[in-house]
Amino acid sequence: MNRQETMAAPESDQAHAREVEEVLSGHRTGLDGLTSDAAATALTEHGPNALPAGEKETRLKRLVRQFRDPMIYVLLAAAVFTAVLGQVFDTIVILAVVLINAVVGYVQEGRAADALESIRAMLTLSATVRRDGTWSSRPAEELVPGDVIRLGAGDRVPADARLVRATNLTVEESALTGESVPAAKSVEAVAADAVLGDRTCMAYSGTTVASGSATALVTGTGTSTEIGRITEMLSEVETIETPLVRAMKKFSTVLAVVAVVMALAMVAVGWFVHDYPLAELVMAGIGFAVAAIPEGLPAVLTITLALGVQRMAGRHAITRRMGSVETLGSVTTICSDKTGTLTRNEMTVRTVVTPAHRFEVTGTGYGPSGDVIDSETGDAAELEDHHDLFAMAEVAERANDSTLQPGEDDEDWAVAGDPTDGGIRTFALKAGAKGADERRIAVVPFDSDYKYMATLDTHARKPEELVIHLKGAPDRLLDRCDRQGIGLHDTEPLDRDRWETEIHELGARGLRVLAAAARSAPDGTSTLERADIDSGGFVFLGLYGIIDPPRPEAMAAIERVHGAGIDVKMITGDHADTARAIAGEMGIGDRVITGAELERASDEELQDIVREHDVYARTSPEHKIRLVKALQANGHVVAMTGDGVNDAPSLKRSDVGVAMGIKGTEATKDAADVVLADDNFASIAAAVEMGRTIYDNLKKAIVFMLPTNGGQGLVILVSLVLGMTLPITPLQVLWVNLITAVTLSLALAFEPGEPGLMERKPRDPRESLLNAEAVIRIVYVSLLLGGVAIAAFLWAQENGHNLATSRTLAVNTLVVGQIFYLLAARFTRARSLRRELFTTNPISWVCIALMVLLQLAFVYAPFLQTAFGTTGVGLDLWLLPVVAGVAVFVVVEIDKGVRRLVG
Ligand code: ATP
């Protein structure tokens, strides 16, 4: 049975069965919305418009989960064996280690989860709401029943709402009804018993506007929404994992199994070949298993990743899908929008061209101070004397969805709505238009697919007449005009060539060009459809030339990513000339191709086109997906930016989808891997850099930790095969594995980008993490660490030291060797003896200092001596470990040096 039908309809829901006026008066509100006071009172009454957070894993569950790990099973088995063998003391220490390991894992996972949650919190939903008679953008959480909100294509509906006005509105409601085809909406009331999917006059929280626009009255918020009734909670947050981390976790599990099998084999060999006593053999087997398994690795990887995404968020790039962190490091092409990402999206009309005049506009910012100067006379032009200017100002005011909010001075004025609209409205105010009186009857909202916006209004001076005002991309408007004029009644045939030249000239100056047109509408018209626009018959009124300055930081970022072997492509809806001018100025390139040419090209031809062009002008969102595919077919790893609802498919298709946090629609953010909090291209470059850094650090942690296991495994294996006394006891192995390796490798999570990071070519995504270079390093460092530990032990035995001292010396040698190896491992290829070793990662020195203290305690603190069978050693016995450490460091540095020379 249908779930919707089984649910009892709460009374507030009857909004769908009542007429607009009735619903408005029922909520004691009008189209001007609530006052701030009324909203504040309602907020205390209804509570915030949010669903309770999803059921989080309880602390106890998280703690219990730490024990569900094959490596812990091995340790627990070791505890049982030692207990059976009567080594109760060892049992206690092993159990203590298991406990400490669980607590460390628990705390680190907690930090990781907190990091992720704080990042999620940055992605709060906002809503355009009318309070005290003005529109503003507010957090959706603040909405209350009675609020009047505005919805546009790509918006997530922030609360349940009754539509009051709707233009071509369709809403994708699959979250609620399971129906994936967007439902058409209108304001007419429906039957009281209509099921959710049939309530066409309602927009429900959690659904997404697919097209059109609407004004609506909020009827239900928070848990009183339909979605709230169904789910009652938010979905779980994503876990901190990437393909790499997942692979490594699997790898350590496999390693655990292999280690256990090898340990059993060793015990068998020892039993049959060397005739060892069983108890000692079992201890050695346990020691080996414990040594070979990288117990601390998963925790270290998780924390490295968590810290990385947190730092990335600090640089305005919010990760939505963890896997993208790795992909970012191998990006070879960034496809970026122009407006707002590469440019500032601060639109100022500079030039206005009409059939009769050319005007220059002065003043900066969105404030109205500034003049409209007639270029011919050099005088300020008045609206009364210039019908053409009046017509341009009229279109600017009517076909406009923005509101300007006054500030202290002109620079501080802000726009609510589209900046292009804002800039054009500012021009109207500067020209002397009066502003605000709404005469709109219907609207076709702007969409980057058809690139215009139109309104049906009553005539400014003759209220009985109706006019359609149209503004948008000049080529689209020219196609729909057959005459040009300085008003609707003073016209001549359209001189298209002249306008093409004007557009080209304005574009070549880097100006963004929009055009204005109008036509009369028959009496009694009350709706406006795209068909009414596309049927043509408009009078061309002129052009607005708008500057939108490039972002200087984006220019610097383009240079940096070029240096890192990454191509930058500009994909814009704007005109070819404008795009070329801006792209040239920003250093992207000047090889331009237009959407129309892309359309004519086959998929194969497109593969050549993307090799040869940097700038894609006059594109529509559906071109983007073809471009991504062509680039990918050429072997590129593509990051693609987007903001509009139609960009979602290309963001999904790209390797890293990047959504704009400010101007992006909710639909795009949902489809994206990364959201830019500041819409800035420079943040994409920063994200790529962080992606490379995080991947490096994960790799560094692995290449640092595995030799510990290799070295210790080797020590036990060799000693058993040769029939010698174990140079390190199983408990001491645990110490090195968990305390030393984890303490030290944590330092790598804080490692900033390597010198020369952005001069490297992108990483080949097919390259395996453990490439030859890494495997060779792991093997020889294992041999070195294992070798020096055995050597130290044998030397001590030779020189008459007792067993405890010899073992202590062996452990010290391993630990000091690791400290020195850490210094070498902080830089993958670059020389470690550099200033950055001391300056860029202070945490690493804290980790080292902490490790030294722990190790001193291990050697000299009586209770640790008892626990681990160590004993105090003289100062002279520290010389050997230090020499061994320096040797490890030198060897690794030589290896790096050779690789620098060869590679
Ligand atoms: P980008 O794709 O780089 O963000 P863009 O903002 O120019 O650049 P769109 O938003 O797709 O791309 O706009 C395409 C064209 O539509 C613009 O070049 C302009 O001519 C026209 N246009 C943009 N905004 C509006 C608007 N608010 N009203 C009418 N027409 C507009």
Higher pLDDT, 623 or 298: 623
Query: Using CA atoms, how far apart are residues 77 and 70, in angstroms rounded to an integer?
Result: 10
Helices 88-121 and 297-314, axial angle in degrees (round to 10):
20
What does the block give as tokens for 605? 């031809």
pLDDT beyond 70 at 3: no
Distances (CA, A) of 247 to 36, 300, 340, 702, 772: 53, 14, 38, 12, 17
CA 751 to chain centre: 21
CA 271 to chain centre: 57
**Distance, CA 574 to ligand 1 centroid (Å)?**
6
* Mean pLDDT, rounded, of the chain: 86
Confidence at 517, pLDDT banded by 50, 70, 90:
very high
Mutate to test the pocket of ligand 1, among 339, 427, 449 (most ligand atoms within 8 A of CB): 339
Tell me which residue of 655, 654, 665 sits closest to 691, measured CA to CA: 655
Q: What is the CA radius of gyration of the chain?
A: 34
Determine the pLDDT at residue 297.
Answer: 79
Helix H or strand E segment including 420: helix 419-431
Query: Using CA atoms, how far apart are residues 164 and 150, in angstroms rounded to an integer?
Result: 10
**Distance, CA 474 to ligand 1 centroid (Å)?**
11
Across 111-125, 272-286, 553-567, 825-839, the highest mean pLDDT is recorded for 553-567
Residue 337 is among the residues annotated as catalytic for this protein: yes
Contacts of 825 (CB under 8 A, 6+ apart): 700, 703, 704, 748, 892
Determine what percent of the chain is predicted with pLDDT higher than 70. Answer: 94
Determine the pLDDT at residue 664.
Answer: 82
Average pLDDT of 696-711? 90
- Of the given ranges (64-78, 108-122, 458-472), which has the lowest mean pLDDT? 108-122
pLDDT beyond 90 at 884: yes
- Of the given ranges (451-465, 524-538, 729-743, 808-822), which has the lowest mean pLDDT? 729-743
Average pLDDT of 432-441? 76
Higher pLDDT, 515 or 123: 515
Residue 317: burial class (beta carbons within 10 Å; 0-12, 13-18, 19+): buried
pLDDT beyond 60 at 55: no
**Distance, CA 472 to ligand 1 centroid (Å)?**
7
6-9: long-range pairs with CB below 8 Å, 24+: 7/229, 9/192, 9/193
- Of the given ranges (59-73, 422-436, 560-574), which has the lowest mean pLDDT? 59-73
pLDDT beyond 50 at 66: yes
Determine the pLDDT at residue 542.
Answer: 97
Confidence at 688, pLDDT banded by 50, 70, 90:
very high
- Of the given ranges (5-19, 194-208, 431-445, 516-530), which has the lowest mean pLDDT? 5-19
| Domains defined for the chain, CATH in brackets | 12-46+144-220 (2.70.150.10), 246-303+687-902 (1.20.1110.10), 317-343+552-686 (3.40.50.1000), 348-547 (3.40.1110.10)
**Distance, CA 899 to ligand 1 centroid (Å)?**
50
- Of the given ranges (43-57, 321-335, 398-412, 660-674), which has the lowest mean pLDDT? 43-57
Higher pLDDT, 645 or 517: 517
For residue 166, give the 3-state DSSP assignment: strand
pLDDT beyond 50 at 744: yes
Across 359-373, 804-818, 821-835, the highest mean pLDDT is recorded for 804-818
For residue 481, give the 3-state DSSP assignment: strand
Tens of pLDDT, residues 169-190 = 889 887 677 677 788 998 898 8
Query: Using CA atoms, how far apart are residues 107 and 344, in angstroms rounded to an integer?
Result: 42
**Distance, CA 411 to ligand 1 centroid (Å)?**
23
Q: Of the residues 147, 337, 532, 655, which is catalytic?
A: 337
Distance, first Cα to last Cα, the chain: 66
Determine the pLDDT at residue 812.
Answer: 96
Ligand 1 environment, Cβ below 6 A: 337-339, 418, 420-421, 446, 448, 451-453, 471-473, 514, 572-575
Query: Using CA atoms, how far apart are residues 481 and 554, in angstroms rounded to an integer?
Result: 38
**Distance, CA 620 to ligand 1 centroid (Å)?**
10
Determine the pLDDT at residue 235.
Answer: 43
- Of the given ranges (562-571, 733-742, 785-794), which has the lowest mean pLDDT? 733-742
Residue 524: burial class (beta carbons within 10 Å; 0-12, 13-18, 19+): exposed
> Closest Cα to atom 10, ligand 1: which residue?
448
Where do runs of H (alpha helix) occur along 47-154? 59-67, 70-84, 88-121
What does the block give as tokens for 371? 């003049």
What does the block give as tokens for 715? 């020590």
Determine the pLDDT at residue 433.
Answer: 85
Average pLDDT of 199-203? 91
Tens of pLDDT, residues 88-105 = 877 887 888 788 778 877
Residues 154 and 207 sit within 8 Å (Cβ to Cβ):
no
Average pLDDT of 758-771? 82
Confidence at 2, pLDDT banded by 50, 70, 90:
very low
What does the block give as tokens for 153? 């294509």
Across 308-317, 375-384, 882-891, the highest mean pLDDT is recorded for 882-891
Determine the pLDDT at residue 1.
Answer: 34
Q: Say if pTM beats, i.e. exceeds, 0.85.
A: no
Query: Using CA atoms, how far apart are residues 881 and 506, in angstroms rounded to an integer?
Result: 73
Confidence at 53, pLDDT banded by 50, 70, 90:
low
Determine the pLDDT at residue 10.
Answer: 43
Across 103-107, 208-212, 384-388, 784-788, the highest mean pLDDT is recorded for 784-788
Higher pLDDT, 604 or 126: 604
> Closest Cα to atom 20, ligand 1: which residue?
473
Determine the pLDDT at residue 7.
Answer: 39
Mutate to test the pocket of ligand 1, among 418, 420, 594, 624 (most ligand atoms within 8 A of CB): 420
- What is the DSSP code (8-state) at residue 757? G
> Closest Cα to atom 12, ligand 1: which residue?
573
Query: Using CA atoms, how far apart are residues 686 and 683, in angstroms rounded to an integer?
Result: 5
E runs forming strands in 674-725: 674-676
**Distance, CA 128 to ligand 1 centroid (Å)?**
21
pLDDT beyond 70 at 239: no
